[in-house]
Structure 1
Amino acid sequence: MPSLTRAEANARAATVTVTGYDIALDLTGEGDTFRSRTVLTFGAEPGSDTFVELEPVTLLSATLNGAALDPSALAAERLTLTGLGADNELVVEGEMRYSNTGEGLHRFVDPADDRVYLYAHMFLDGARRIFPCFDQPDLKAPVTLSVTAPDGWLVAANGEQAGEVDGGRWRFAPTKPLATYFISLIAGPYHARTDEHDGIPLALYCRQALAEHLDEQADELFTITKQCLDRYHEIFDVRYPFGHYQQAFVPEFNFGAMENPGVVVFRDEFIYRSAVTDAEREQRAMVIAHEMAHQWFGDLVTMAWWDDLWLNESFAEYLGTRITAEATRFTGTWTTFAMQRKAWGMRADQRPSTHPVAPSDVDDTALALLNFDGISYAKGAAVLRQLVAYVGDKAFLAGLNDHFAAHAYGNATLADLLAAVSRSSGLDLSSWAELWLRRAQLNTLRAEVERTGDGRYAQVVIVQTAPDEHPTLRPHKLCLGLYDHGADGVVTRRRLVEVDVDPHADGGRTLVAELAGEPAADLLLVNDSDLTYAKVRLDPASAGAVPLILPLLDDSLARALLWGATLDAVIDGERPVAELVTLVLAALPAEREVAVVEDVLRMTRGLVDRYPAPETRPAALELVAQACDRLVAVAEPGSSLQLAGVRGLIGAGIDTVRLAGWLEGENVPAGVAVDADLRWLILYRLVVLGAAGSERIEAELAADRSAFGEQWAARCRAALPDAGAKARAWKLITEDLDASNRILDATAQGFWQPEQLDLVTPYAERYFTDIPAMLQRRPGMSGERVAVTAYPSVVVAERTRQLAAELLAEPGISSIVRRVVMDGDDDVRRALRARG
């Protein structure tokens, strides 16, 4: 399919006005297709021409204003419409194909019971796989849907059900105007739980195989949903605008969730079947709040084009974190944001593929897809937090409500939003937006400290720098935290100092005059409270105090910032990975915030897999394992901290006798349940280490014949230290069009193992020919995800970089290939630098 260009979208928006979609789907047929009939009504400039997107297996009929269209009008997944009238009716009937990629109408057969489940995912341009459409965000229209489904199925959609089901036909009331990428439905023998809150009907859906788990968790899910609705109603003048609020947990979903109005869709891993940590429950709550924020930012007011994606994702990321902290029991979400989400944005922002939060050059939908990254989500949210610090919360919320009132059920742009907040705050935000939203990359803030002979500050200067290729300095409103280590072993924050970092100061140097003459703190933390978005580097004395102070700090956000600064310095090659693992051993067992533990272990393990030389990696991994062992020993049995420590120990451990014993229930730490997912994690590690083989994998799968079991088995098969297993896994990744998106992703996850470099290194050569070919056959989100996961990042060698350079030099490579290879090569570059 040709990517829709911005010029084409602008021309089409100037030509047509869409008045409605009436879509009828018949899901009762056999095989891999379904039937779709659509009546699309729209106004147009008389005599003009345009096109709709459409991807049928067979076009059965198409009429425009009663006249049959020639079959040749459909080419390259576009149906050309000529000689339009002032008012037009397009009627199209076709056979459409189910998907196994998580796009279009995805079909899943549950291995647990052979039941069939469907869900529609239109994002970003997948609506053409279900019905003919003007597939761009600024051509919104009401949708009337009817679905004929097999007996015993449940169907839910954006609109509320209209009347009783008649002969298997489900009818839904017309919706408010929707962008095409929000139109959705689920269909199948879904299990349902219902409730009501503040006049809003609520529902939860999942597969029958997960029904008992949903029933156990429904009260928590409904409680979080109600708390978030109440808080949004407190801060927004417009109540939830789409009638009912349904949340469907569906299999093999590509994203964490999707904000379809009236029927929000989540990946069904959020219905937990095994023990999880409080950090994972917090993450689920934040995703619920994030998708709910989209009902205003994205659904009620929709971006006009994909360059304003930040109006959707940055606001949902910011509000999802904020509302979860304000309305639910998970009050520490800003710690998680600093540790995990903002760090994700910072990594993306330092890659060669970086782009502004609000880029002005998104010329087509292919480029738009690539911008769904840590910049559009997490960096944008961090920038919004800085905006709130700059204009004040009252003015910020007033501006948002003004924005909703002006653009409800329509479209808006960056200029519209800035105008609203400028009016409410009385500040001209144009220069602020230029520096923060229109320019890429990030600044580094360093404390430059001079002390007097008696231990006082002679001078404290915040030095702001920017990379040479992106030399933008920005205004930063931030805090400095002064932390002292007392004789009683307690660390206290003496005070917070508010600082306005001036981008126009000489040499990027902002003097903190308020600290002159004050007793020097043991640790001076730049950006305490995490109000701004920047890399932070501590002064030498403060950096030296981190191992002593970090385990004793009460403030989890301050601890997250110190961990984040340490990890970032290692990633940048400023500090060795050996220093990191030593700090992990010293401080992580004392950490009280499970989200911090999980993310430190995840990041450290990734660095240990790539940054040390192969001969020194085992020693680094052993220190990580020791830290996890200590954490398990001191954590309360059955606690989230204990579970996080056990998982970390499994991932870093090499004691196969101990791990095999756990799998048999021997010497398991008290409080740890070796449930389905923990069993698979143990087995996966044993497979990687060569202590379990194919027979054990198949036996485990026979005991866990589930969707999750199949994914775990695919990951384990790919991890087998066997040449035949690697060949089979690579063939599946690169050639199999029948495998689902999730099986391919699991296989790619298991393939590259630093313990198996002799086996996998030859595949680094093959990646640069086989993966671009795979993306020709499997374009879109599913293919991109596999390409990212399958990148040979563990083959840290100049040859890997040379192969990347040769591919990037080829003319005509796709934007997806270019982005994935540029970013993967940057990871290898950093690892080589660390080894050097």
Structure 2
Amino acid sequence: MPSLTRVEATARGAMITVLSYQVDLDLTGGERFRSQVTVRFRAAASAETFVEVKPARLLAVRLNDRDLDPGALTENRLPLTGLDEENTLFVEAEMAYSNTGEGVHRFVDPADGATYLYAMSFLDDVQRIFAAFDQPDLKAPVTLSVTAPPEWTVAANGQLADQPSPGRWEFAPTAPLATYLVSFVAGPWHVRSDSHDGIPLAVYCRRSLAEHLDADLAEIMTVTKQCLDRFHEMFDERYPFGKYDQAFVPEFNAGAMENPGLVTIRDDYLFRSAVTDSQRELRATVIAHEMAHMWFGDLVTMRWWDDLWLNESFAEYLGTRVAAEATRFDRAWVTFALRRKAWGYAADQRPSTHPVAPHEVRDAAEGLLNFDGISYAKGASVLRQLVAWLGDEAFLTGLNAHFAAHRFGNATLADLLDSLAAASGRDLRDWSARWLRQAQVNTLRVAASVAADGRYAEVAVVQTAPASHPVLRPHRIGVGRYLADGTVLRDEVDLDPETDRGRTVLSGLSGQPAARLLLPNEGDLTFAKVRLDPASAEAVPLVLPDLADPLARAVLWGAVLDAATDGQWPVADLVRLLAVALPAEPEVIIVEDVLKLSRPLVDRYLEPADRDAALAVVARTCAQLLATAPAGSSAQLAAARGLIAAGSDGDLLTGWLAGRDVPDGLLVDAELRWALLRRLVVLGAAGAAEIDTAAAADPSAAGAERAAGCRAALPEVAAKEAAWEIVTRNTDLSNRLVEATAGAFWQPEQAELTAVYVDRYFAEMPAAALRRTPWVADEVASLAYPRYAVAQSTRELAAALLARDDVSPGLRRVVTDADDDLRRALLARTVAAAVVAT
């Protein structure tokens, strides 16, 4: 189906004004639901346009006093001609449920057979629910009515106005909404209600997850209330959408979606097993992130998808900030420095990089591709840098002016910059041109010269940019000096490319005692790669375990991991550093993230024999952590997971799975059992029979996903063929089951078994991608990429695929970026081999 272009959206936006949507849905049928919508809109007299709808069957269309031919529908576009100044459009259709997390997703809970529905209208899928002028700048109030089975509960964006009969739910008109924010949930939901500061609150989940919601309800509600309070302190505009519901829904594609009045969140965030505090922090940050969208995206909406950063960058920044400031999860910036920024740095250095605020996004499909680490993590980092430069008071004053000027409307980058410039008295045009309109990342290096007496002759920060994107940026950063006697000093410096031309001397350091470690970007205020001077790099193993500030440790770990990714820090040295520093690391967040971020480097940058040796070191390190962690603690769970993932001791893992020799305090619950079983499957120490037994013991949706992953990981010819069939051809299974299969298919230990599928990926994935919706197709293609086939022949196959003209934009981006990752891995192996040879 054609994707709406910016040119088309601009023309239609100038031609019509949508006044209201009156939507009536009947959910009492079988495989389809009935949709009726009445759209009232103004238009230039005799204008011509189109409305979007994606029906299973279009039943009736009436424009003003004329019946239109349903056969005029071409793909998803229904022409509208001869418009009056005031128009009423009525469209009735049968709509299909989806199993892809888009439109109205229908889920049958394997735990109890209950059926649940939720609506996901993003990015252009409101058309799967009712006919609409589907673009973000045509906002209008939505009045929804739903007929459902009488035993169901229905919730929507608006507040319930009336329930005239069992099964009939009529909701009050909403404030003006962008079409991609319309949502509802329907089914036999378990509901818990509360209120705070005059705002009704509710939380929804499936009945089979009721005990898990109830166990965490106090924490979820506390975080919600704390975040509301903090946003009300920051913003003059109170929460503007009446009630605040949060529905934990099954098989959700994203982490969550900011539908005003009814936020939908993937129900993986209702924990059925023991979790670490970093997982609880992530849930709190997600809650704060979606709440930030109530102002950034919902109250004031981007005009077009080129200003996506006005939604996601702000929600990412404010979600992290508010979680750190208002909840018990005050280490949220530590997580951001290590986990989220690693995502942003990786995205910004790939061939598909793009500016935070692109000059143009041609169509909605291209907009979908930009939901990445640049729009989220880099954009949030840029905002944190902006706050450091402008000051928080001017920043918040500008935001409040922005809300007041564009309340319930749309805005652009230029609109926001005008508000911030007026509040701060600073001209932001050059700043935005460098930070928002230019792609790629700068590198900051410390250049230090030390005199014979051990004192600095000069210390400078040198800023460079890649040749492909030669832009230097203004940075306000901290430089940490860690002296031999334990003293920690911090110097704040402004890097101004206009005056220092990329080399900024730190005044006042000449004659000062040389530090053991110089850490640029201490405090993590900017978005830049960090490279240490040679003396500091040599001192890292000695200094890192003793750094008191967890944010400084996160920044330093990030620098080391990034250097390893670039092939400038040998992965073998990274593993040795991990063995030295992690046993002394008190922050579970850092332990988990270092293990997670280093694992792809171990799996891909090392030759197989070296990989096995490195994983043995990782396993021993995790065992050491496990031995010293308090019983029942997050640290104990993180160490156990790390040991399971890296371990090769089948007897130990089998014993734990059977409940033998389990460390005191470690609960081998559902999720840990699946982790143990999957590792045993990969090692060839468990098979299909054990998977079937585990699946029978865990008849939940999560259990079905874990079982799918285990079956795909089986080191058997038949199992791989069955999994490949699911990945490339099966459209009956839900999005999450297909993704679980794709994600577990490739295993470094099974390179010989899966070698034949390397060619098959490039031969079959273009057709496979066309069988699925773009969101799911891109995720499956990414998960199914032969990422462990580190060979030049894999790159040649990628090049051949990219030369074809029948490759979808999403698959093209997936292959381009994955091929670049393989390029790095091959380079690292070549460098390592050269070092060994010399």
Query: TM over 0.5: same fold?
Result: yes
Q: Which residue of 526, 529, 540 corresponds with 2:523?
A: 529
What is the match of residue 776 of structure 1? 770
AA at the equivalent of 2:636? Q
Shift of 1:604: 1.2
Distance 1:148 1:361 in 2: 42
Q: Kindly indicate whether the alpha-carbon contact (under 8 Å) linking 1:140 and 1:178 is maintained by their aligned counterparts in 2.
A: yes
Aligned-partner Cα distance in 1 for 2:483–2:783: 44
Cα displacement (A) at 1:774: 1.2
User: In structure 1, which of residues 541, 562, 565 is the aligned counterpart of residue 535 of structure 2?
Assistant: 541
Q: Which amino acid aligns with 2:455?
A: R
Q: Cα deviations across residues 774-809 of structure 1 (Å, max 9, x unaligned)?
A: 111102211111111111111101111001111111
For 1:303, the aligned partner's letter is: M
How far, CA to CA, are the matches of 1:129 and 1:804 in structure 2?
Answer: 34
Q: Take 2:588 and 2:407, find their aligned partners in 1: how far apart are those partners? A: 40
Task: Say whether residues 1:352 and 2:351 are aligned partners.
Answer: yes
Letter of the structure 1 residue corresponding to residue 808 of structure 2: S
Offset at residue 504 of structure 1 (A): 3.0
Q: Does 1:576 align with 2:576?
A: no
1:390-431 per-residue CA deviation (whole Å, 9 max, x = no partner) reads 111000000000000000000000000000000000000000
Partner of 2:741: 747
Partner of 1:286 in structure 2? 285
Counterpart position of 1:705 = 699
Deviations 1:307-353 (A, max 9, x none): 00000000000000000111001111111100111111001000000
Q: AA paired with 1:379?
A: K
Q: 1:813 aligns with which of 807, 815, 832?
A: 807
Match in the other structure for 2:835? none
Aligned to 1:634: 628
Is 1:13 paired with 2:13?
Answer: yes
Task: Report the CA distance between 1:833 and its aligned residue.
Answer: 0.5
- What is the correspondence of 1:456-471 to structure 2 with a 5 Å cutoff? 456-471=455-470
Is it true that 1:376 corresponds to 2:366 in the alignment? no
Cross-structure match for 2:109: 110
Residue aligning to 1:385: 384
Alpha-carbon distance between aligned partners in 1 of 2:294 and 2:484, rounded to the nearest angstrom: 47
Structure 2: distance between partners of 1:56 and 1:527: 53
Say whether the 8 Å CA contact 1:307–1:358 is kept in structure 2: yes
Cα deviation for residue 503 of structure 1 reads 1.2
Aligned position for 2:554? 560
Q: CA deviation at 1:54?
A: 0.4
Give the corresponding residue for 1:587.
581
Cα deviation, 1:554-592, whole Å, max 9, x if unaligned, reads: 100000011100000000011110000000011111111
Q: Secondary structure at the match of 1:46?
A: coil
- Give the whole-Å Cα distance in 2 for the aligned partners of 1:193 and 1:75: 44
Aligned residue for 2:41, secondary structure, equals: strand
In 2: Cα distance, 1:422 partner to 1:293 partner = 22
Structure 2 CA distance, aligned partners of 1:457 and 1:485? 14
Hey, what does 1:297 align to over in structure 2? Answer: 296
Match of 1:98 in 2: 97
Deviation at 1:541, TM superposition (A): 0.8
Q: Distance in 2 between matches of 1:364 and 1:221?
A: 37
Distance in 2, Cα, partners of 1:72 & 1:171: 31
Q: 1:303-382 counterparts in 2 under 5 A?
A: 303-382=302-381
Contact 2:545/2:585 (<8 A) preserved: yes
Q: Does residue 724 of structure 1 match 2:718?
A: yes
Which one-letter code corresponds to 1:570 in the other structure?
Answer: A
Tell me which amino acid in the other structure corresponds to 1:377.
Answer: Y
**SS of structure 2 residue aligned to 1:40:** strand
Counterpart contact for 1:485–1:549, Cα < 8 Å: no
Please give the secondary structure, in 2, of the residue aligned with 1:96.
strand
Q: 1:605-631 CA deviation, whole Å, 9 max, x = no partner?
A: 111111101121100111111111111
Q: Report the TM-score, using the length of structure 1 for normalisation.
A: 0.99
Query: What is the match of residue 423 of structure 1?
Result: 422
Q: 2:100·2:773 contact (CA, 8 Å) conserved in 1?
A: no
Q: In structure 1, the residue corresponding to 2:139 is in which secondary structure?
A: coil
Q: Distance in 1 between matches of 2:808 and 2:251?
A: 26
Matches within 5 A, 1:47-58: 47-58=46-57
Partner residue of 2:834?
none
- Contact kept? 2:770, 2:808, Cα under 8 Å: no
| 3-state SS of 2:127 partner | helix
**Contact 2:114–2:188 (CA under 8 A) maintained in structure 1:** yes
Counterpart position of 1:193? 192
- Partners of 1:758 and 1:302 in 2: CA distance: 51
Pairwise CA distance, 1:73? 1.7
Amino acid at match of 2:380: A
1:506: how far off? Answer: 5.5
Alpha carbons 1:317, 1:377 under 8 Å: kept: yes
Aligned pairs (5 A) from 1:750-765: 750-765=744-759
| Cα distance in structure 1, aligned partners of 2:665 and 2:820 | 42
Q: How do residues 661-680 of structure 1 correspond to structure 2 at under 5 angstroms?
A: 661-680=655-674
Residue type of the alignment partner of 1:656: G
- Give the superposition deviation at 1:167: 3.3
Number of the residue aligned with 1:242:
241
Q: Residues of 2 paired with 1:631 and 1:66: CA distance? A: 74
- The residue identity in structure 2 corresponding to 1:40 is V
Shift of 1:632: 0.6
C-alpha separation in 1, matches of 2:89 and 2:583: 65
Residue correspondence of structure 1 range 505-524 to structure 2 within 5 A: 505=499, 508-524=502-518
Q: Which amino acid aligns with 2:604?
A: R
The answer to whether structure 1 residue 2 and structure 2 residue 24 are counterparts is no
- Preserved contact between residue 746 and residue 786 of structure 2 (Cα < 8 Å): yes
Q: Is the 8 A contact 1:442 1:535 kept in 2?
A: yes
Q: Which moved more, 1:241-250 or 1:592-601?
A: 592-601
Match of 1:183 in 2: 182
Segments of 5+ residues of structure 1 without an aligned counterpart are none
- 1:369 Cα deviation from its structure 2 partner: 0.3
Shift of 1:634: 1.2
2:212 maps to amino acid:
H
Q: Is the 8 A contact 1:492 1:553 kept in 2?
A: no
1:767 corresponds to which residue? 761
Paired with 2:82 and 2:768, the residues of 1 have a C-alpha distance of: 40
Cα separation, 1, equivalents of 2:163 and 2:129: 24
* 2:208 maps to 1:214: no
- Alpha-carbon distance in structure 2 between the residues aligned to 1:521 and 1:64: 76
Q: Distance in 1 between the 2:557 and 2:815 partners?
A: 29
Give the CA deviation at 1:813. Answer: 2.3
Determine the C-alpha separation between the residues in 2 that align with 1:397 and 1:753.
Answer: 48
CA RMSD, 1 decimal:
0.8
C-alpha displacement of 1:536: 0.3
Query: 2:617 & 2:80 partners in 1: Cα distance?
Result: 66
Contact 2:579 2:618 in 1 (8 A): yes
Partner SS, residue 356 of structure 1: coil
* In 2, Cα distance between equivalents of 1:194 and 1:611: 50
Q: Say whether the 8 Å CA contact 2:705–2:737 is kept in structure 1.
A: yes
Deviations 1:18-55 (A, max 9, x none): 0000000000012x211001101110001011111101
Report how many aligned residue pairs link the two structures: 830
After TM superposition, give the deviation of residue 508 of structure 1 in Å: 1.5
The answer to whether the 8 Å contact 2:456/2:511 transfers is yes
Among residues 779, 788, 809, which one is paired with 2:782 in the alignment? 788
> What percent identity do the matched residue pairs reach?
62
**Could you tell me how far 1:507 is from its partner in structure 2?**
5.0
Residue in 2 aligned with 1:503? 497
Following superposition, the deviation at residue 505 of structure 1 comes to: 4.6
